[in-house]
Amino acid sequence: MLDKTFNPQDVEKRIAAQWQASGAFACGNRPEAEAFSIVIPPPNVTGRLHIGHALNNSLQDILARFERMRGKDVLWQPGTDHAGIATQLIVERQLAERQMSRIGLGREKFLEEVWKWKAESGGAIVEQQHRLGASADWSRERFTMDEGLSRAVLKVFVELYKQGLIYKDKRLVNWDPRLQTAVSDLEVESLEIKGTLWHVKYPIEDSDRFITVATTRPETMLGDTAVAVHPDDERYRALVGKTAILPLTGRPIPIIADEYSDPEKGTGAVKITPGHDFNDFEVGKRHKLPLINIINKDGTLNNDVPAPYRGLSREAARKKIVADLEAAGLLEKSEPITHAVPHDEKTKTVVLEPFLTEQWYLNVQPLADKAIAAVEKGETKFVPENWANVYFGWLKNIRPWCISRQLWWGHQIPVWYGPAKEYRSSGGERASIFAEETQDAARKAAEDYYGRPVEFFSDEMEYKRAVSPYYQQPWPADWRIPLLREADVLDTWFSSALWPFSTLGWPDKAAELERYYPTNVLVTGFDIIFFWVARMMMMGIHFLGQVPFKTVLIHNRVLDEQGAKMSKTKGNVVDPITLIDEFGADALRFTLAQAAGQSRDMRIGPTRVEAGRNFATKLWNTSRFCEMNGCVTVPGFEPGRVRETVNQWIVAETAQAVADVTAAIEALRFNDAANAAYHFVYDIFCDWYVEITKPIFQSGSNAAQAETRATTAWARDQILKLLHPFMPFITEELWAATATTPRDSLLVVAHWPSIKAQGAEAASAEMHWVIELIKGVRSVRSEMNVPAGAKIPLVLTGADMIAKERMARNKDVIMTLARLTQADPADSIPKGSAQFVLGEAVVALPLGDVIDFAKERARLEKELKKTQGEIDRFDAKLLNEQFVAKAPEEVLAEQREKRTEAAALAARLGDAIGRLQN
């Protein structure tokens, strides 16, 4: 006997263990079946599951379970990402708490610490995915820094390098002065900041005049190498070609004409700081201006600025410079301004600095072209389609991708540097580059190149010591050429971009690659279309010659119940595990699926999940009802052969529900699928079928009871199957608990239903009639304030044979559900009856003294008025010549039919009101 309520906590763990033990999630055990594959967007290995993950994983799991039940060989590939910056940051913070530092430890020891942290916390998010019920093939779990995946990364890097697509370049990058690493354009977030616009007067050489520039960053003026004005700007025309004296430094800088200068902005004259501004960098290139770098890697001012400012932070320098300018009388004015300032996208606190460094770049242009073409040709489809525009928009304006990071945690770039082969050449100590997948390969390449043995160095200082004595000199005969390993690591997204094939065994010729690539669906959020989706497309096409996935499903973004973006700082993060603890994983999953509509966002919070929990309870209890009435699955039951009308009807309804849910999941419309299942279970099975079968179980014939028991059990089984992708735990539990003999298999590998129901039209019509009758009686009872416990008589008048037969056949049901003392046909309507119209017939409820005539008249008149309004509307249409002439035939016929029905209803209502007066 089932417990009175479902206790998720007790059940979930046990069921999860059963699934694991059964091996049901493993791919490859259906070699003859069609393959279906999904790769999970790998979460940060040391992170925690948030509600967005829960949605993302739930949708993937629905697909995986659905296709598995449909007999496919499903691979849902799980794994985690090393998340370079985020993880390194956490470990550095932990070290700081122990009064230690990354630099103090050194690279090797520090990485040991990170691996330790990964081991400690790395299981958590996977454990949370298990809590959710994710049916991924956990035996194939991967990590972006696994041996195999790392090999893929190295191979991709080396190939792209040898193809000339990866190169080193010295240009401005977005620099994070706290982490002291470059970040890519995508990792920059512009935030509106209240600042000040200072107008600074630059004296003009050999004159007593000034040119005034406006700036929000006065500290960068120490790196100015020009002042630019627009060539057409009359105000400044005379000054072009003259020289300004940069205040505080006394350095002369030219006044140049460049169209970059916008006469509308600021004063129309703009200071040019090529070393610290992207636009100025371009201006500097055009005018061959010198470039002065004035800051250190940590953001403090360097020794190329006047002594008083050296070592100051950017903020302190700004203050001091403003004060000094003011003291010198060179500050014309200052005004408050709100302007966009680049911040690092992760913490949103650190102001990024355009900074001149040498970095590794990937020229993605040729890859992007192919990625664009693939979507244009439909090889990959976005769902909803409009997200393709976002994808195109970015790829069509793509810029080289800065792939190097000055971090330690990540894939160290497989490049070794050596000294110039011609020692007299002035190439410095890192003149030769060997990009190879392994150190051995690098050794070989270098030894071939130099014709000498080499020696590896990982520390730059040691390397320099080894190499520096031999600049500009012949190398000693026994000298081993020092090779220095590139210290930088790759952007985390570089390895993520390979995920769809690196997890399948590439670069080896793996059978999995053959079978599961391209994957079927990528399920992800729109926030990583650029970061991840586009890059996977590029890498997949480039290295495999095929797109990595056929469909990209972009799902909603999850907001809190107030519609606010969730963030740790706001403290409005909804923890999915808390929701699972409170309401159960099934409740959360079902709620997420129901909310996964076509809009861009969804709002999720406890109240919605509570509704999901209530649905689980309903499912549990209706199963309990089945159990209490001895409804046990009958082997070989044939739904097409049931004889009882109500059973024929529920078979047809079940078939409809199966068709609806199936079509919706296929179309990736999860909300439609969940709602179709919900509607069938709640509004059809529980509300009507179960209620209608109660009288049968009490007083039906043996044959009817037996058939109804079998049909009920069958329908319940179909429900469990239909709901299993959404609510796997409770359905699996019920699947076992409702069986008296062991099931053939776990529900997770049961066959998805496919039902052919034909010839049930008559049964369906009859049941709809019965339901309408019962609803009609209930409605009248309620409006007439008939006590819920009181039983009343019913007579059916004006009914045709069909209606009379319907009532006779379903008398028990009608009397029970409508709480009647009798339900019989009659020739006339008894006095003192409340009435309502049902099809051709009038249903009368002789309430005698109970009836409130005024109330009954009001009720009928309201109904009549409503009907009359409808008739008027139909008439307006049908009398409109244009409508009659132009509307399609079927619409016309439909409107006429509806008008006739309404008129008939009105006539009967009129009669009923007339009789009331007697």
Question: Of 86-115, which residues contact RNA (CB under 7 A)?
Answer: none
Q: At its nearest, how many Å lie between RNA and the CB of residue 431?
A: 32
- Residue 782 in contact with RNA, rule: CB under 7 A: yes
Between residue 560 and residue 589, which ones bind RNA under the rule CB under 7 A?
A: 561, 563, 565
Among 108, 789, 854, 914, the residue binding RNA under the rule CB under 7 A is 789
Task: Pick the closest to residue 161 from 467, 571, 442 (CA basis).
Answer: 442
34: number of Cβ within 10 Å: 12
Between residue 216 and residue 235, which ones bind RNA under the rule CB under 7 A?
A: 216-217
- Residue 213 in contact with RNA, rule: CB under 7 A: yes
- Alpha carbons 616 and 688: distance in angstroms, whole number: 18
Between residue 496 and residue 555, which ones bind RNA under the rule CB under 7 A?
A: 527, 530
Task: Say if residues 401 and 184 touch (Cβ distance below 8 Å).
Answer: yes
Among 870, 904, 913, 915, the residue binding RNA under the rule CB under 7 A is 870
Between residue 590 and residue 629, which ones bind RNA under the rule CB under 7 A?
A: 595, 597-603, 607-608, 611, 613-614, 616-618, 621-622, 624-625, 628
The piece of 361-369, 477-485, 738-746, 871-879 that touches RNA (CB under 7 A) is 871-879
Our CB check for RNA shows the closer of 483 and 837 to be 837
Q: At its nearest, how many Å lie between RNA and the CB of residue 174?
A: 8
- Residue 902 in contact with RNA, rule: CB under 7 A: yes
The piece of 211-219, 249-257, 370-378, 744-752 that touches RNA (CB under 7 A) is 211-219
Q: Which two tokens mark 384?
A: 């909803």
Between helix 84-97 and helix 107-132 the angle, nearest 10°, is 110
What x/- string results for residues 685 through 704 when contact with RNA is judged by CB under 7 A?
-xx--xx--x----------
Q: At its nearest, how many Å lie between RNA and the CB of residue 352?
A: 6
- Alpha carbons 405 and 81: distance in angstroms, whole number: 16
Among 128, 267, 492, 648, the residue binding RNA under the rule CB under 7 A is 267
- Alpha carbons 523 and 55: distance in angstroms, whole number: 10
- Alpha carbons 846 and 834: distance in angstroms, whole number: 6
The piece of 234-242, 277-285, 373-381, 718-726 that touches RNA (CB under 7 A) is 277-285
- Residue 279 in contact with RNA, rule: CB under 7 A: yes
- Alpha carbons 602 and 564: distance in angstroms, whole number: 10
Q: At its nearest, how many Å lie between RNA and the CB of residue 665?
A: 15
Between residue 801 and residue 830, which ones bind RNA under the rule CB under 7 A?
A: none
Between residue 384 and residue 403, which ones bind RNA under the rule CB under 7 A?
A: 386, 389-390, 393-394, 397
- Residue 788 in contact with RNA, rule: CB under 7 A: yes
- Residue 297 in contact with RNA, rule: CB under 7 A: no
657: number of Cβ within 10 Å: 24
Among 157, 874, 908, 912, the residue binding RNA under the rule CB under 7 A is 874
The piece of 97-105, 467-475, 739-747, 774-782 that touches RNA (CB under 7 A) is 774-782
Task: Say if residues 745 and 628 touch (Cβ distance below 8 Å).
Answer: no
3-state secondary structure of 353: strand
Torsion angle of the four alpha carbons 736, 737, 743, 746, in this order, in degrees rounded to the nearest 10:
-10
- Alpha carbons 793 and 57: distance in angstroms, whole number: 55
- Residue 171 in contact with RNA, rule: CB under 7 A: no
Alpha carbon separation from 534 to 236, 242, 262, 817 (Å, rounded): 46, 49, 35, 59
- Residue 341 in contact with RNA, rule: CB under 7 A: yes
Our CB check for RNA shows the closer of 686 and 802 to be 686
Q: At its nearest, how many Å lie between RNA and the CB of residue 600?
A: 4
- Residue 265 in contact with RNA, rule: CB under 7 A: yes
- Amino acid letter, residue 72: K
- Alpha carbons 250 and 918: distance in angstroms, whole number: 111
Residue environment code for 694-716, b if the CB has 16+ CB neighbours within 10 A, otherwise e: bbbbeebeeebbebbbbbbbbbb
Q: At its nearest, how many Å lie between RNA and the CB of residue 686?
A: 4
Our CB check for RNA shows the closer of 68 and 199 to be 199
- Residue 20 in contact with RNA, rule: CB under 7 A: no
Residue 173 forms beta bridges with which residues? 355
Among 67, 113, 224, 672, the residue binding RNA under the rule CB under 7 A is 672
Q: Which two tokens mark 460?
A: 């730059």
Q: At its nearest, how many Å lie between RNA and the CB of residue 843?
A: 14
- Alpha carbons 451 and 88: distance in angstroms, whole number: 40
Between residue 359 and residue 388, which ones bind RNA under the rule CB under 7 A?
A: 386
- Residue 354 in contact with RNA, rule: CB under 7 A: yes
- Residue 337 in contact with RNA, rule: CB under 7 A: yes
# residues near RNA by CB under 7 A: 102
- Alpha carbons 874 and 896: distance in angstroms, whole number: 8
Q: Which two tokens mark 775?
A: 């609803």
Residue 693 forms beta bridges with which residues? none
Q: At its nearest, how many Å lie between RNA and the CB of residue 897?
A: 8
Q: At its nearest, how many Å lie between RNA and the CB of residue 711?
A: 16
- Residue 190 in contact with RNA, rule: CB under 7 A: yes
Our CB check for RNA shows the closer of 42 and 525 to be 525
- Residue 737 in contact with RNA, rule: CB under 7 A: no
Q: Which two tokens mark 386?
A: 């409009």
Between residue 426 and residue 445, which ones bind RNA under the rule CB under 7 A?
A: none
The piece of 215-223, 433-441, 741-749, 761-769 that touches RNA (CB under 7 A) is 215-223
Our CB check for RNA shows the closer of 90 and 696 to be 696
What SS3 string covers 64-95?
HHHHHHCCCEEEEECEEECCHHHHHHHHHHHH
Our CB check for RNA shows the closer of 779 and 828 to be 779
Among 84, 268, 482, 507, the residue binding RNA under the rule CB under 7 A is 268
- Sequence-distant (6+) residues with CB within 8 A of 343 are 188, 189, 190, 191, 349, 350, 351, 352
**What's CA 316's distance to the chain center, in Å?**
42
- Sequence-distant (6+) residues with CB within 8 A of 634 are 710, 713, 714
- Alpha carbons 520 and 130: distance in angstroms, whole number: 23
Among 30, 346, 778, 896, the residue binding RNA under the rule CB under 7 A is 778
Look-up: residue for tokens 């020289």? 243
- Residue 895 in contact with RNA, rule: CB under 7 A: yes
- Alpha carbons 499 and 513: distance in angstroms, whole number: 12
- Alpha carbons 57 and 178: distance in angstroms, whole number: 34
- Alpha carbons 355 and 275: distance in angstroms, whole number: 7
Among 42, 47, 342, 846, the residue binding RNA under the rule CB under 7 A is 342
